[in-house]
Structure 1
């Protein structure tokens, strides 16, 4: 039974015969292995063509920026999963990636779509970036939607990662309309939302990559790919300096029980 929308029965990423493996039209062995970086390979796999030097450096910078950010919930999930199942590194990596959602790591795609909507509003109306951004921000405010990619619990004045990515985009000459939109939104937020919310790395990644020519629909994969490297690092450390059960014990000690219990019962999980 046919389920969902279908297209022609073809894919254009990889094929092979007994002698040759072709990836995006390139001979894997003769053209790619040992000749290009993994960042270039990622761009090729996703976008279908090899990046130029500016595109390579921009994607590389975003991957470095987001790969590691300490013991965030997704990392804790991965480390505690490995503590419980030390033979399943792949399961622990998966647990960490499954913990990457709209709050942790998942805002890049939604921020990119937000910037696209502002750009399209500007193009359709023939007005300014400021007018288009204000219109979309007021709509989000009215609908009580979160502005994706703005605000951070630690980096209040500015997110240094975001500022550096924008700086690199300017240095490379790739900063364009999406970077302008991102900064314009930041300046408009206090008046429209009622409080200051700075650009965080999840809005910097899409604006610099979209200006560099990276596909919007693949934006979510950038932080996932980057954070996989960070998770592997944490999981190696978990095998040599385990803290998974320490975190579990700390959680049990920090979170009290306030449900019903028999008279005289005293909790002591230690």
Structure 2
């Protein structure tokens, strides 16, 4: 039984035969292997074309910025899952990736949408500043977090975000998206009555959008990046296990309801 509307029965990504693999119209062995970095290849796979120098640079920069951030929930999930079944590395990595969501790690696509909202309003209101202020006020009024602003650890600034903005300016790649993000930073401070640091998710969305990285790839960058970090955690877990220790410490840190009520 067919569910949903079918698409055309074709794919443009890759095909394999007995003597060759063709990827986006290129011979894998002769055209790609030994010629492309993985960042180049990821862009080619997703878009069907080679990246420009700026696209390559900022995509690679984003992957490096997000690959690792310590013992995050996704890393803990991967380590504990690895301990449960060391033979299934794929399961441990999958567990960690499933822990990458809009609250932790995966907000770049939400940030892209906010940037596009500001830019669309700026045309009608006449300035980025007015548009950013309007967007910030709406989020505040509706009691919604403003994607890309605030961080539980990095205060008063996110050093990764600062570096990305600096590099975008240095390379002459900072455009309207970066300007919108900076306008939102000022607007957020005014509306919330305190500085809210621009975090790395916002700068990833802004810099990648300014160099014309497609929305689907912006959304996927956090997953692709963190996979490398999760692999590292699982390799270390095999050598120096701490997953079960983290689980036991977590159990110790939580007061059970019966204990809180004074029951034995």
TM-score, structure 1 as length reference: 0.92
**Deviation sequence 1:4-24 (CA, Å, 0-9, x none):** 343322222112333332211
Distance 2:158 2:199 in 1: 5
Instruction: Look up the SS of the partner of 1:15 in the other structure.
Output: strand
**2:241 matched to which residue of 1?**
242
Q: CA deviation at 1:54?
A: 1.8
**1:178 matched to which residue of 2?**
177
- The answer on 1:158 being equivalent to 2:157 is yes
Distance 1:221 1:179 in 2: 20
Distance 1:21 1:120 in 2: 43
Instruction: Look up the SS of the partner of 2:258 in the other structure.
Output: coil
Deviating more after overlay: 131-140 vs 151-160? 131-140
Q: CA deviation at 1:255?
A: 1.0
Q: CA deviation at 1:193?
A: 2.5
- The answer on 1:216 being equivalent to 2:240 is no
Deviating more after overlay: 95-104 vs 141-150? 141-150
Gap change, CA 1:188 and 1:19, over 3 Å in 2: same
Gap change, CA 1:264 and 1:13, over 3 Å in 2: closer
Instruction: Look up the SS of the partner of 2:257 in the other structure.
Output: coil
Equivalent residues of 1:47, 1:214 under 8 A apart: no
Instruction: Look up the SS of the partner of 1:259 in the other structure.
Output: helix
Equivalent residues of 1:138, 1:192 under 8 A apart: yes
Q: CA deviation at 1:47?
A: 2.1
Distance 1:30 1:261 in 2: 67
Distance 2:262 2:98 in 1: 41
Equivalent residues of 2:125, 2:131 under 8 A apart: no
**Deviation sequence 1:150-203 (CA, Å, 0-9, x none):** 101111111000011111112222111100001110011121123321101111
Q: CA deviation at 1:250?
A: 0.7
**1:49 matched to which residue of 2?**
49
TM-score, structure 2 as length reference: 0.94
Deviating more after overlay: 190-199 vs 222-231? 190-199
Distance 2:108 2:120 in 1: 18
Deviating more after overlay: 228-237 vs 79-88? 79-88
**1:113 matched to which residue of 2?**
113
What is the aligned-residue RMSD (CA, Å)?
A: 1.8
Q: CA deviation at 1:45?
A: 1.1
Q: CA deviation at 1:148?
A: 0.7
Instruction: Look up the SS of the partner of 1:22 in the other structure.
Output: strand
